[in-house]
Chains A and B, each alone.
Chain A
């Protein structure tokens, strides 16, 4: 608890020092540091209210858990290393599945641009696959691939590939025809047009799918772990909830939240790297 109170101190200290930001900022909420301070404060206030509610307000710690207990468990699982093992499994399943699923779906979707005939041919199948809730495949996939991480990766691939395929195909199809004609007039063949116009113009949509698919990947990994597993944050949450150990459930949930948050920011980072021209645009709009 002492680390928490010292954090509150540093957060409140940070604000007056950056008072200048409050006046310059256009959103009225201050600059980066002041805003982060405020956000941290909100989180801490939430936990404080929760803790007080359980201790003095008649909120059931049995049903809702209790922050002090959550933090104790959090610390314990970090100390014995089990949290890292579980988080490692879930991260591995989600990230590997995401990478394969998204890469597979994206490349298939983009290459459907080559042939309208093939695209029309496979369209009903794609739609049919897309309309199956992929989660419903989980029991089957676990039967096929076992209870280890392979089955979770397979489930994540199933969840991410179709979305990536559909988005990539639509983006490729919407790619500016005039740019393609310009390349044709320059003497470019179909492959050149694909790599010089279709792929780069589809990238923003493809990367937007990354963000959606990161969420799906975590869903796939966790649901796979719910059904049958020995490790993972989903395993942690599921087994703890069977034992009514709400504090441990929360440890798993908050870890998933942190994991999702981190992955989201990694995607953002990739986006800034891959789409510098989009960055330029949005900065200009902010400036204007």
Chain B
């Protein structure tokens, strides 16, 4: 790997939730870096607080301790700077496909006409032009997630935060959308943080993988994934793919027998 500049520094982040049964530490002393144009997957055992980490980065949840620095500047969270995508597509059911795509630009008070043209452009690229006036309830899961992806990309966020965005889709649709994502991210030069429970997806798409330990979670290991292509199908056929896959499964203590 060549020169890498750090885009986001995460140092000693911690979060404890108070519950009826006392305080539950969910994240403890979380430290890692995200580089410019990085594609980092965060994997870990289920319930290890991945979504909590995600919400702290997004600025939706305040950390109890620790600092985040964005390009050197200390920040509370990346609210307004990140694109947020979840397993649930979170499309607004009362908005048409086009209106959903326009949501973020409306919040930013972008000129209506300009915004509309941008959105139509994206819909064209993503093969959804003929659905611009359809309501989300009439779309398939894959189409809905594509609209959600457009809604995220159109904001031109510095970092895309993806929380298991494809896990509710069938495998073919998922491979297709992974490809769409990787293409979009490469052409636009975006940084991606992908939270996933899917080791296979993490290896196939990422440049780096951060492995978390169980709750309270901290970083167990960070691996560079050196696979020539990150297109979802080709990378899965790469000779090194299986090696990384095993390595990460071992880290996660995944045993099938």
Contact = CB atoms under 8 A, between A and B. Distances in A.
B82 A185 contact: yes
A281 B94 contact: no
A178 interface: yes
Contacts of B108: 186-187
A241 to B, nearest CB: 47
Contact of A277 (B86, B107, B137): B137
A192 interface: yes
A196 B86 contact: no
Interface residues of B, number: 24
Nearest to B108: A187
A197 B93 CA distance: 10
Contacts of B79: 184-185, 187
Interface string A52-94: 0000000000000000000000000000000000000000000
A178 B155 CA distance: 18
Interface in A210-246: none
B1 to A, nearest CB: 30
Contacts of A257: none
B92 A200 contact: yes
Interface string A179-196: 101111111100010001
Nearest to B104: A186
A111 interface: no
A284 B94 contact: no
A201 interface: yes
A182 B93 contact: no
Interface of A: 176, 178-179, 181-188, 192, 196-197, 200-201, 203, 275-277, 280-281, 284
B81 to A, nearest CB: 8
Contacts of B90: 176, 178-179, 182
B135 A186 contact: no
Contacts of A200: 92, 94
Contact of A185 (B84, B92, B106, B137): B84
Nearest to A182: B90
A187 B60 CA distance: 10
15 contacts: A179-B92, A181-B55, A181-B84, A185-B59, A185-B60, A185-B80, A186-B84, A187-B79, A201-B93, A201-B94, A277-B93, A277-B95, A277-B135, A284-B137, A284-B138
Residue among A176, A186, A281 with the most chain B CB within 10 A? A186
Interface string B87-119: 010101111000000011011100000000000
A145 B138 CA distance: 52
Contact of B138 (A178, A179, A185, A280): A280
Contacts of B210: none
B58 interface: yes
Contacts of B94: 200-201, 203, 275, 277
A185 B88 contact: no
B137 A183 contact: no
B135 A187 contact: no
B23 to A, nearest CB: 23
Given A200-B94, A201-B94, A281-B135, A186 B155 contact: yes
A185 B86 CA distance: 12
A197 B135 contact: no
Interface in B51-66: 55, 58-60
A197 B92 contact: yes
A187 B137 contact: no
Contacts of A182: 84, 90
A280 B60 contact: no
A185 B55 CA distance: 9
A187 B107 contact: yes
A178 B86 contact: yes
Contacts of B88: 178
A145 B210 CA distance: 72
Interface string B126-159: 0000000001011000000000000000010000
Contact of A184 (B60, B86, B106, B135): B60
A188 B135 contact: no
Residue among B55, B58, B137, B155 with the most chain A CB within 10 A? B137
Nearest to A176: B90
Given A187-B107, A201-B94, 18 more contacts: A182-B84, A183-B103, A184-B59, A185-B79, A185-B80, A185-B82, A186-B80, A186-B104, A186-B107, A188-B107, A200-B92, A200-B94, A201-B93, A277-B95, A280-B138, A281-B135, A281-B137, A284-B137
A50 B55 CA distance: 70
A181 B94 CA distance: 17
